[in-house]
Chain A
Amino acid sequence: MDGVEKAAQPVHPPSMTHHDHDNDHHDHGHGHHHDHDREHSELSEVALRVRALETILTQKGLVDAAALDAIVETYETKIGPRNGARVVARAWADPAYLARLRDNATAAIAELGYGGRQGEHMQIVENTPDTHNMVVCTLCSCYPWPVLGLPPVWYKSAPYRSRAVIDPRGVLKDFGVTLPETMRIRVWDSTAEMRYLVLPMRPAGTEGWSEEQLAHLVTRDSMIGTGLPLTPGASA
Chain B
Amino acid sequence: MTAMQDILPDLPCDAEGPIFAEPWQAQAFAMTVALHKAGLFTWPEWADALSHAIKHAQAEGDPDHGDTYYHHWLRALESLIIAKCVADEALLHALRDAWDRAADATPHGQPIVLENDPQRAFV
Contact = CB atoms under 8 A, between A and B. Distances in A.
Interface residues of A, number: 75
Interface string B49-75: 011001001101011111111111011
Contacts of B1: 219, 230, 234
Contacts of B68: 6-7, 10-11
Given A81-B12, A158-B58, A50 B65 contact: no
3 shortest interchain CB distances as A-B pairs:
A80-B12, A157-B66, A52-B95
Contact of B107 (A3, A39, A55, A69): A39
A71 B81 contact: no
Contacts of A11: 57, 60, 62, 68, 71-72, 75
Nearest to A191: B47
Nearest to A42: B103
Contacts of A54: 27, 31
Contacts of A6: 65, 67-68
Interface of A: 2-3, 6-7, 10-13, 15-16, 19, 21, 24-25, 38-44, 46-57, 59-60, 62-63, 67-69, 71-72, 75-83, 117-118, 139-142, 149-150, 152-160, 191-193, 219-220, 230, 234
User: Is chain B's binding surface mostly helix, strand, loop or mixed?
Assistant: helix
5 contacts: A6-B68, A11-B72, A63-B34, A76-B26, A149-B19
A41 B104 contact: yes
Contacts of B20: 72, 76
Interface residues of B, number: 77
A23 to B, nearest CB: 11
A46 B71 contact: yes
Contacts of B46: 192
A234 B31 CA distance: 41
Nearest to A7: B67
Contacts of A10: 68, 71
Interface in B8-66: 9-14, 16, 18-24, 26-31, 33-36, 38, 40, 43-44, 46-48, 50-51, 54, 57-58, 60, 62-66
A117 B58 CA distance: 28
Given A71-B33, A117-B33, A140-B50, A55 B123 contact: yes
Contacts of B97: 19
A158 B57 CA distance: 11
B74 A75 contact: no
Given A72-B29, A75-B19, A158 B64 contact: yes
Contact of B103 (A43, A80, A153): A43
Contacts of B29: 71-72, 75, 150
B5 to A, nearest CB: 9
Contact of A192 (B47, B69, B72, B112): B47
A82 B33 contact: no
